[in-house]
Every structure is written in structure tokens, then in C-alpha cells.
């Protein structure tokens, strides 16, 4: 919050610089803006940039570097007996304790005088750093203001400079998309690489046994830790399959009805209804699955003598299918509408009825697009998290019986990473390996789907 | 399908022949079947749309029917004796510190014991008796006494919340005709309840606390205010980060970018990011923001950043199509009058595209508001009672609150969860309504 106020203050400083630069430019031009190269507002913007950009960049760098330096100083100030021979996790624990004491929380060794002293030192350094940061940021801003002021003259090409800087800012913002992808791939690859140093790759991909509880102590019984991901893949595919069994027919038939039969009034009512279905948060579907659908299925199963698990794959899959219906129907609606009317007219001209036209002309013509839509839907189902977290099971169960509980890749990622965790255990790292698999499978499905759709579009446009 | 030599005359696009007498004989035996099939197919389509609608109704209906009762709470009027011995046992001068620390729960218990002297003997019965009212009832009394110390020594009628089980019973969710072992409340408790009820001392009131309090382990005390503030803080970060970056990226890609490998790569990237599962963004946030940059766990700042990366593709794609919809003639006219390319964009194109951009942004924000999975990864799933005050305080958001409550075993949390969902859906409807309004009101077609 303090940092936020500093940022606001710097922006205010830049705004002041704007008016100063503007006034300065008019003054140098002799009281009228006529003789200036650019409009006075560009001289204002020029000054604001000289103030804002360097100081904000400094602020960002400071915020990243300062904690590291402060931590180093504090740990260096501890008696060497405390820090010598510590492993990196113990070191982190000690640092955490000091931080806790510094922020006034209770810590496991808060009564240790060395820790208390270090905590006082930490908050002292922190405050000093903060004040130094403000001084440095405003100092640089003032320097920028001075430079800008001295440079402002009627011949300064202020507009061109400002536009060049804005152009760079625009390029940087569009690069964020690439940075995000790179960040995802690098972080997943890095952590997965660490995981594969603990667990062999083939064991992860082909193993039939998944029980990620690793032993805390060497002599502990019953928690060996097995990382065979096949049961998770099978569970994911089973639930996805059930979901597609629900979503594909209902979604496709709705799309066909809306595109070919429905009159505009019906469309005006039914389309928003499907959009509402698409806009409902997944956590709501999860709640619906866990509290309404799953018990209903269990009771229905009981009444005909079937033993349905209360976390059955069927319930999670059906609700996931419901979630995907609008996705399938809106994508298919688009591709069906893109089929040229001349194809339909040709078919009607040969005497075909509407449904015959749809079945033997429109759907085949739209097929690549429909396949693309279904692939995108599958990728959506595989990556969906909340429904399965709330309605599917936790135990890895290698089965294809939809009435039993299975677990999925996303469920395991959530259960492995929610709560406290240590970052070098195979258990935590395995979540990143699962994330990597998830990322690449959905990426591959999307690339295939998009290329299929694009190929098809080129044909009729 | 058709006989090539004989066209069915008068057959429109799937319509019926106008003159049956002139129908060629070759077609007629099949025709009835073909029309029947046509009707069946049409019906099938209608049935699937209807199924989707029905499911939506069931979904909303089940949530409203489970959740509407959470908006009120049953209370009981108890006669509380603010006895000086209980509040100030040492008999010294009454100062604020003593009053703050006094045992107010004992006052409630004394009152209940006086009400039902029979139960006072047995320990387990006594515990049940105390369990009639909320275990946090003392807070009400404490704030009363702190406000007006003159109450000490007097006897007052105070309205106190029933405990979650009794509240659930009062709302009729527990069937009193079930055998005693199968329900959460015993015959004894029902007897007490009926006695108080017959005296007209149990009444329902609007559950204000649901909207003004943070989370609690006691369902009758739990509210959504903390999660609401968390959601607002998180969305503020998301908006502040994703809106400027998204619009600037869209402007660059649509108006300035040369057609080369780099811009192609950016476009492919944006399209792929739009389809990456949200949980992967959570993994990114955990690995990069928490472990690499050392930002605080559970903070709206980190949640907002993760959601910003997630909504960025939505905003970029929507903004680009809004920019594309501005006709080139506008740009050419401005360029012809001597505007620089950047002036063309900032003075003319962007203002004209703004309604479309804002619509896309609101839809992106609505998605972010409903998102849960990535926030679980960065620790926003903790049990947090305090209302978050800043971007770095531990916080949770509405959908995560729904998830936390849905996981709680108490029966009373079911209605709280449904009510929280209703509030969440209310906000989503509001946001989408604004988006639709914006589109209808300001969108120009050229």
C-alpha cells in the first residue's frame, strides 16, 4: 500500500512536470505557441516522460533488489553459529522466523535474543531502504525535470520524441503475451526438470500407480511415493469422454436448430440463454455437481440396484458436459452460418427436405469447423478444474467404470499445491510435471483445431 | 433421394406440396416417411435447446431454493441479567479493561439456565442447552456493555442469534418426524425451541451480518464481506494491469505493427494463451510471482496479476475487433488533415472504438471475477476472518469463498454457499448487463 502511494506521488510529480514543461515551452517561444515545433502539450508530455519513466523504472528495480540485499545483511549480521552449515530450506525457515518476529507475529523461536535483534535490524533496514527509495526516485525525477527543462526550446522536436517513446511502450505491451508464454513454458519446464531428477521420466509416463505421499521421515511406513500418472490420464479421459457424450449431441443439435430452423424471435431468446450457461462460474457448476447431481445419480443408482459412488465420474462428467454445451453450440453455430447459402439452395433445388439438406450438405461442408469446435471443447474439458475438484475423487483409481470415483490431472495439481508445501519435494514438483503435460496437450489440441478451422475458412471466404 | 426425371412441384424448402394430385407416383411412397423424418429432426433440435434451457433452470432453481433462506437468521429474545458479580468478580472499580475481558458467555448461559432449570443438572444436557444460541453471542453483549456501562446490574431483553443447527431447524430443513438418531437436533432441543417459540420469543430478521462480516467457522457468523472486498481489490489490480496493456497491445498490433515474423508470433501466442487452462496460469503465478519474485502469498496483488495475464488475451482480441470496425476513411481523413499516425489513433480511432473495447474489458473482468482455480494455486484459499485492507493483505475472493464453504461439513454452510453464489451471479449479471447496455447504446455501425 505504501509503495502504491509512492507510485501515485510519482505520477502526480509527472503531472506537475507536464504543466511546467508546457508553460516553459510557451515561455521560450516568446509567449505564443506559434513559433514552436510541436504543440505545447507535447512539450508537457516530454517533460512528464523525463520525470516518470526513469523514476518508475528505478522504483521497480529497487523493489526487486532491496529485499535480497536486506535479507543478506540481516543473515550476515546473525552470530555465525546460527547460520553455519544450514541447508537452504533451514536457512529459509530461519529467515521466515525473523520476518515473522519483525511483523509482530508469533514465531517458533521468538524468544531468542539473536532473532529479536535480527528482526529489529530487518525492520530498521526495511524502513531505511524505503526512505532511500523515495529519495532516489524523486531525485531521479527531479533530475529528469531539470534535463527536460534545459532541453526545451522552440526547435526541439518534442512530438517526434514523445511518439517514438510511446511506440516503444506499445511494442513492449504487445510483447507481454510472448513473455507470458515464455514464463509458463520456462517455469513448468524448470520445475518438471527438477521433478524428473527425483522420479524417472518413464515411471511418470507409464507407471500405473499414483500415490504422491512421500515419507517425511525415512522410517515412516506406508508412504513410499509412487508417481505413475497413467491413472490420472485415464481418469481425465474418462470424464472428458462423458462430458463430450453430453455436450457434443446437445450442443451440435442446438447449433443446427438455431442456425437452420429457429426464427429470429426464438434466437433472440435462446442465444442469450446459452450465453448465460457459458457465463456461470465453474465453481458454481462444481457446487451443483457435488450437491445436486451426484446425490441424484447415487439415489437413482440405488433405486435400480447399482452401486454409484458419491464422487462418480459420471456426475462430474455430465456437469462438465453441461458447462461445455454453449461452447460447442456457439462455435458450431458460427461454422454452420459460414456455409454458403448457394449450397443449401442447390440441395433444395434437387428436392431435398431441410433435414436432408442439413445432414448431407450443410454438416459435411461444415465438418472441419465442427471437428475444430469439438477439439477445442475437449481441450476445455481436459483443462477444467473446479468441477472435478469439487465433484470427482481424490484417490487415483485405474478404472473406466463411470460409476466409480476417478481423479484427474487438474484435481491432483490442486490437491498437491493447496496448503503449505516445501519446494524441493517430489510431491510438490510432480504438480508442475502434470501442469506441463496439461499445457502441451491443450496446446496441441488448440493448434490442431485452429489449423483445421483456418483451412476450412479459406475455402469459402 | 429424388427421382431425377420428376421434380416434386410446389415443394418449397422442405415445405409441403401444394397440390397432392399432381405429385409424381415415384416419390409419394417415400414422402410421408421423409416428412416424418424431417419433423423428428426438427423436434430433436428443439429438444436439445429446450434441454439446455431446462438444465439452466434446474441449476438456478436448485441454488436459489437452497440459498434464499440464508438472507435471514432466526434470533431468540433472552432476558439477560448483567450481574455485577459476573462482570466484575473482583469488585474493584469498573474500568474498560475489566469489562472487555469479562465473561459474557456466562451471562447468556445463566439466562438459559434460568429459562430451563431442568437441564441445569446434567452436563451433556447443559452443553446442549448452551448450544441453542450462537457461541459468539458474547460479542453482542460485550459491545452493549462497553457502549453503556450503566447496564451493569440491570436486566435486559437481548436478541441473540440461534446457533446454526437451531437456525437450520427453525427454517424447516430438519424434519422433526424423523427418528431422533437421524437428525442433528434432539427431542430435548426441539422441546426447548418449541417452548421459546410458543412464547413468541423466536423470530426471524434480515441477516445483515452476512453482508458485513468476514468468514467464520460458525455458519451463523459467517459473511461474505471479506471475500467481496478481496474480489474488489483483486479485480482492481487486474483492471489496472490488463486494461492499459491490452489496449496498447491491440493498438500496436492493429494500427502500427509491420507484417513480419515477430507480429505473427505475437498473434499466435495471444490466440493460444486464450485457450490455456486457467490452472496453468496459477502454476505460473506460483512459480514466478511467489517463488521467483517473492511476492506475498494469498495477496490480492498476486491474484490480480495472475488474472490480468489470463484476461489479457480476451481484452486484446476484443479491442482489436473494435479497432478493426472503425472504417479506414476516418483514418485517411485525419491523416489528410496533417495528423501524425499516433494522433490519428489517440484522437479519432480509439475514441470511436472505446465502447467496443470497454465491452470486451467488462466481459473479461466478469470472467476474472468468476475464476477460482488459479487463485487456489497462489494461496488465496486460506481461512481469513479479517477484512483485507490493502493489496498485500491475505485475502480471498467470492468464488474461492464459495469453494471453501462448499467444502465445510456443517449443514448450515450449504445455504450460505448458495447465497454467496447468488451474490456472485448477481454481480456477473450486473457486469454483463452493463456490457450489453454499452454495446446497444454506443456501438456505431458504419
B323: left (phi over 0), alpha (psi -120 to 50) or beta: alpha
- The cell for B223 is 459473511
Q: Cell digits for B292?
A: 521467483
Considering only A71-80, A252-261, B108-117, B284-293, which range has the smallest mean pLDDT? Answer: A71-80
Q: Burial, B329: exposed, middle or buried (Cβ in 10 Å; 0-12, 13-18, 19+)?
A: exposed
A103 touches chain B (CB under 8 A): no
Q: Are A163 and B259 in contact (CB under 8 A)?
A: no
The CA distance from A46 to A25, in Å, is: 11
B85 pLDDT above the threshold of 90: no
> Which 3 state secondary structure label does DSSP give B279?
helix
Grid coordinates in use for B53? 434451457
Domain ranges for chain B, please list them.
Answer: 20-67, 70-214, 225-442
Tell me what percent of the residues of chain B surpass a pLDDT of 70: 92
Q: Shortest Cα distance from A37 to chain B (angstroms)? A: 14
* Cα end-to-end distance, chain B, whole Å: 45
* Contact between A274 and A254 (Cβ < 8 Å): yes
Q: What is the pLDDT of residue A236?
A: 94
Cβ–Cβ below 8 Å for B13 and A184: no
User: Which member of A250, A358, A380 has the closest CB to residue B48?
Assistant: A250
* B198: pLDDT strictly greater than 70: yes
User: In which band, very low, low, confident or very high, does the pLDDT at A423 lie, cut at 50, 70 and 90?
Assistant: low
Residue in the structure block whose three cell numbers are 459412488:
A309
Lowest mean pLDDT among A99-108, A143-152, B11-20: B11-20
Interatomic CA distance for residues A230 and A206, integer angstroms: 6
Quickly count helices (H) and strands (E) in chain B. Answer: 19, 3
8 A C-beta contact, residue A431 and residue A416: yes
Q: Which residues, other chains included, contact A242 with Cβ-Cβ below 8 Å and sequence gap of 6+?
A: A313, A314, A316, A317, A318, A320, A321, A402
Are A260 and B379 within 8 A, CB to CB? no
> CB A352 to CB B44 under 8 A?
no
The pLDDT score that the predictor gives to residue B91 is: 65
Residue whose C-alpha cell reads 525473523 in the numeric block: A98
Assess B256–A contact: CB distance below 8 Å, yes or no.
Answer: yes
Identify all chain B residues contacting A183, using CB atoms and an 8 Å cutoff.
284, 288
pLDDT of residue A248: 95
Tens-digit pLDDT profile for residues B284-334: 999 888 888 878 888 999 999 999 999 999 999 999 999 999 999 999 999
Residue A280 pLDDT level (bands cut at 50, 70, 90) = very high
At residue B5 the predicted structure's pLDDT band, cuts being 50, 70 and 90, is: very low
Does residue B15 carry a pLDDT above 60?
A: no
Confidence of residue B353 (pLDDT cuts 50, 70, 90): very high
pLDDT band at A416 (very low <50, low <70, confident <90, very high): confident
**Superfamily of the domain at B225-442:** MetI-like (1.10.3720.10)
ipTM of the complex: 0.88
**Which residue from B55, B253, B283 is facing A322, i.e. has the nearest CB?**
B55
Q: Phi, psi (5° rounding) for residue B74? A: -85, 135
Contact A242/A313 with Cβ under 8 angstroms? yes
* Span B211-224, average pLDDT: 87
Question: Considering the entire predicted model, what is its pTM?
Answer: 0.87
CA atoms within 13 A of residue B415's CA, in its CB half-sphere: 22
Look up residue B150 and give its DSSP letter. Answer: G
Partner A contacted by B32 (CB < 8 A): no
From chain B, the residues in CB contact with A277 under 8 A are 52, 55-56
Flag if B313 and A177 touch (Cβ within 8 Å): yes
- Check residue B187 and give its pLDDT: 82
Which domains, and CATH codes, for chain A? Answer: 2-156 (no CATH), 226-460 (1.10.3720.10)
Q: Show Cβ contacts of residue B436 under 8 Å, excluding neighbours closer than 6 positions.
A: none
Kindly report the average pLDDT of chain B as a whole number: 85
Interchain pair A184, B313: CB under 8 A: no
**Is it the case that residue A99 has pLDDT exceeding 80?**
no
Q: Are A350 and B366 in contact (CB under 8 A)?
A: no
The reply to whether residue A281 touches residue B273, judged by beta carbons under 8 angstroms, is no
For residue A284, the distance in angstroms to the closest alpha carbon of chain B comes to 7
How far B309 CA sits from the closest chain A CA (Å)? 7
Pair type for strands B72-81 and A226-227: unpaired
Cell readout for B125 is 444436557
The pLDDT of residue B11 is 45
Q: What are A356's three cell numbers?
A: 436432408
A284 contacts in chain B (CB < 8 Å): 59, 63, 370, 402, 421, 424-425
Binned at pLDDT 50, 70 and 90, residue B375 comes out as: very high
Measured distance CA(B94)–CA(A287) in Å, rounded: 51
| Beta-bridge partner residues of B156 | B80
Chain B residues touching A171 at Cβ < 8 A:
252
pLDDT, tens only, B386-445: 888 888 888 999 999 999 999 888 888 888 999 999 999 999 999 999 988 888 888 777
* A185-196 as b/e: b if 16+ CB within 10 A: eebbeebbebbb
Q: What is the predicted pLDDT for the residue at A27?
A: 87
User: Is the CA virtual torsion A19, A21, A27, A33 positive or negative?
Assistant: negative
Residue B339 touches chain A, beta carbons under 8 Å: no
User: Averaged over B17-25, what is the pLDDT?
Assistant: 57
Q: Which H/E stretch holds residue B73?
A: strand B72-81
Name which of A159, A291, A413 is nearest B279 (Cβ-Cβ). Answer: A413
Would an 8 Å CB–CB cutoff place B46 in contact with chain A? Answer: yes
Helices (H) and strands (E) in chain A, counts: 18, 2
Distance between CA atoms of residues B231 and B303, nearest Å: 9
Best of B278, B279, B344 to mutate (most A CBs within 10 Å, chain A): B279
Most confident residue range from B173-182, B254-263, B343-352? B343-352
Cα separation, B206 vs B74, in Å, equals: 9
Amino acid at each position: 500500500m505504501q509503495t502504491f502511494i509512492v507510485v501515485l506521488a510519482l505520477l502526480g510529480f509527472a503531472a506537475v512536470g507536464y504543466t511546467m514543461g508546457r508553460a516553459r515551452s510557451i515561455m521560450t517561444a516568446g509567449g505564443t505557441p506559434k513559433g514552436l515545433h510541436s504543440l505545447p502539450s507535447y512539450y508537457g508530455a516530454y517533460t512528464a516522460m523525463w520525470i516518470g519513466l526513469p523514476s518508475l523504472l528505478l522504483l521497480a528495480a529497487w523493489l526487486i533488489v532491496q529485499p535480497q540485499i536486506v535479507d543478506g545483511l540481516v543473515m550476515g549480521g546473525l552470530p555465525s553459529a546460527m547460520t553455519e552449515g544450514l541447508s537452504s530450506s533451514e536457512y529459509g525457515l530461519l529467515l521466515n522466523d525473523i520476518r515473522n518476529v519483525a511483523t509482530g507475529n508469533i514465531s517458533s523461536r521468538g524468544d531468542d535474543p539473536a532473532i529479536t535483534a535480527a528482526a529489529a535490524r530487518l525492520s530498521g533496514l526495511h524502513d531505511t531502504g524505503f526512505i532511500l527509495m523515495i529519495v532516489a526516485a524523486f531525485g531521479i525525477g527531479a533530475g529528469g525535470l531539470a534535463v527536460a527543462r534545459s532541453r526545451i526550446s522552440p526547435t526541439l522536436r518534442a512530438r517526434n520524441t514523445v511518439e517514438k517513446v510511446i511506440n516503444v511502450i506499445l511494442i513492449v505491451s504487445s510483447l507481454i503475451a510472448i513473455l507470458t508464454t515464455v514464463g509458463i513454458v520456462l517455469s513448468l519446464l524448470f520445475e518438471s526438470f527438477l521433478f524428473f531428477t527425483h522420479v524417472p521420466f518413464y515411471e511418470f509416463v507409464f507407471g500405473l500407480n499414483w500415490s504422491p505421499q512421500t515419507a517425511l521421515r525415512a522410517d515412516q511406513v506406508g508412504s513410499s511415493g509412487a508417481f505413475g500418472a497413467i491413472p490420472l490420464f485415464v481418469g481425465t479421459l474418462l470424464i472428458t469422454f462423458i462430458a463430450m457424450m453430453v455436450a457434443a449431441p446437445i450442443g451440435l443439435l442446438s447449433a443446427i436448430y438455431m442456425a437452420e430452423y429457429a426464427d429470429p424471435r426464438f434466437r433472440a431468446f435462446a442465444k442469450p440463454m446459452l450465453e448465460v450457461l457459458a457465463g456461470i462460474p465453474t465453481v458454481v457448476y462444481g457446487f451443483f455437481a457435488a450437491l445436486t447431481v451426484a446425490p441424484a445419480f447415487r439415489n437413482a443408482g440405488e433405486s435400480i440396484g447399482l452401486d454409484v459412488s458419491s464422487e462418480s465420474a459420471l456426475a462430474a462428467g455430465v456437469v462438465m458436459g453441461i458447462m461445455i454445451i454453449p461452447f460447442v453450440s456457439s462455435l458450431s453455430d458460427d461454422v454452420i452460418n459460414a456455409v454458403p447459402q448457394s449450397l443449401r439452395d442447390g440441395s433444395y433445388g434437387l428436392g431435398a427436405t431441410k433435414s436432408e439438406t442439413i445432414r448431407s450438405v450443410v454438416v459435411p461442408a461444415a465438418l472441419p469447423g465442427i471437428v475444430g469446435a469439438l477439439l477445442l471443447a475437449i481441450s476445455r474439458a481436459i483443462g477444467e478444474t473446479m468441477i472435478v475438484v469439487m465433484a470427482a475423487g481424490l484417490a487415483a483409481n485405474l478404472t473406466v467404470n463411470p460409476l466409480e470415483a476417478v481423479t484427474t490431472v487438474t484435481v491432483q495439481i490442486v490437491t498437491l499445491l493447496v496448503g503449505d508445501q516445501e519446494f524441493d519435494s517430489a510431491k510438490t514438483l510432480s504438480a508442475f510435471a502434470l501442469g506441463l503435460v496439461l499445457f502441451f496437450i491443450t496446446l496441441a489440441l488448440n493448434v490442431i483445431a485452429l489449423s483445421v478451422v483456418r483451412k476450412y475458412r479459406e475455402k469459402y471466404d | 433421394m429424388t427421382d431425377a426425371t420428376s421434380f416434386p412441384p410446389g415443394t418449397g424448402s422442405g415445405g409441403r406440396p401444394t397440390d397432392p394430385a399432381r405429385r409424381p407416383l415415384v416419390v409419394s411412397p417415400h414422402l410421408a416417411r421423409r416428412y416424418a423424418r424431417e419433423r423428428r429432426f426438427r423436434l430433436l433440435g428443439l429438444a436439445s435447446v429446450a434441454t439446455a434451457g431446462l438444465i439452466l433452470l434446474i441449476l438456478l432453481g436448485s441454488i436459489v431454493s437452497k440459498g434464499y433462506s440464508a438472507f435471514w437468521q432466526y434470533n431468540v429474545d433472552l432476558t439477560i441479567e448483567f450481574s455485577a458479580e459476573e462482570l466484575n468478580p473482583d469488585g474493584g472499580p469498573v474500568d474498560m479493561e475489566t469489562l472487555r475481558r469479562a465473561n459474557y458467555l456466562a451471562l447468556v448461559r445463566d439466562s438459559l439456565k434460568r429459562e430451563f432449570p431442568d437441564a441445569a443438572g446434567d452436563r451433556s444436557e447443559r452443553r446442549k442447552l448452551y448450544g441453542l444460541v450462537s457461541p459468539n453471542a458474547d460479542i453482542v453483549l460485550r459491545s452493549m456493555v462497553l457502549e453503556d456501562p450503566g447496564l451493569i446490574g440491570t436486566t435486559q431483553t437481548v436478541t441473540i442469534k440461534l446457533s446454526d443447527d437451531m437456525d437450520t431447524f427453525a427454517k424447516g430443513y430438519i424434519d422433526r418426524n424423523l427418528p431422533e438418531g437421524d437428525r442433528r437436533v434432539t427431542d430435548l432441543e426441539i422441546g426447548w425451541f418449541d417452548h421459546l417459540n410458543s412464547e413468541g420469543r423466536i423470530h426471524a430478521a434480515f441477516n445483515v451480518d452476512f453482508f458485513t462480516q468476514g468468514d467464520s467457522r460458525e455458519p451463523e457468523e459467517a459473511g461474505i464481506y471479506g471475500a467481496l472486498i478481496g474480489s474488489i481489490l483483486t479485480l482492481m489490480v487486474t483492471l489496472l494491469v490488463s486494461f492499459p496493456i491490452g489496449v496498447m497491445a491491440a493498438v500496436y498490433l492493429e494500427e502500427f505493427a509491420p507484417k513480419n515474423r515477430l507480429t505473427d508470433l505475437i498473434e499466435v501466442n495471444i490466440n493460444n494463451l486464450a485457450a490455456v487452462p486457467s490452472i496453468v496460469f496459477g502454476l505460473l503465478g506460483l512459480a514466478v510471482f511467489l517463488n521467483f519474485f517473492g511476492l506475498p502469498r494469498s495477496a490480492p496483488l498476486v491474484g490480480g496479476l495472475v488474472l490480468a495475464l489470463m484476461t489479457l488475451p480476451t481484452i486484446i482480441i476484443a479491442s482489436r475487433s473494435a479497432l478493426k470496425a472503425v472504417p479506414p476513411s476516418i483514418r485517411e481523413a485525419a491523416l489528410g488533415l496533417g495528423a501524425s499516425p499516433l494522433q490519428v489513433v489517440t484522437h479519432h480511432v480509439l475514441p470511436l472504438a472505446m465502447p467496443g473495447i470497454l465491452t470486451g474489458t467488462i466481459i473479461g473482468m466478469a470472467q476474472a471475477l468468476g475464476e477460482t482455480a488459479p487463485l487456489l494455486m497462489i494461496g488465496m484459499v486460506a481461512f481469513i476472518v479479517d477484512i483485507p485492507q490493502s493489496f498485500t493483505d491475505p485475502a480471498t475472493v467470492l468464488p474461492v469463498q464459495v469453494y471453501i464453504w462448499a467444502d465445510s461439513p456443517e449443514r448450515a454452510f450449504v445455504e450460505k454457499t448458495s447465497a454467496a453464489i447468488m451474490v456472485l451471479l448477481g454481480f456477473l449479471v450486473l457486469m454483463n448487463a452493463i456490457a450489453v447496455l454499452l454495446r446497444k447504446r454506443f456501438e456505431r455501425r458504419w
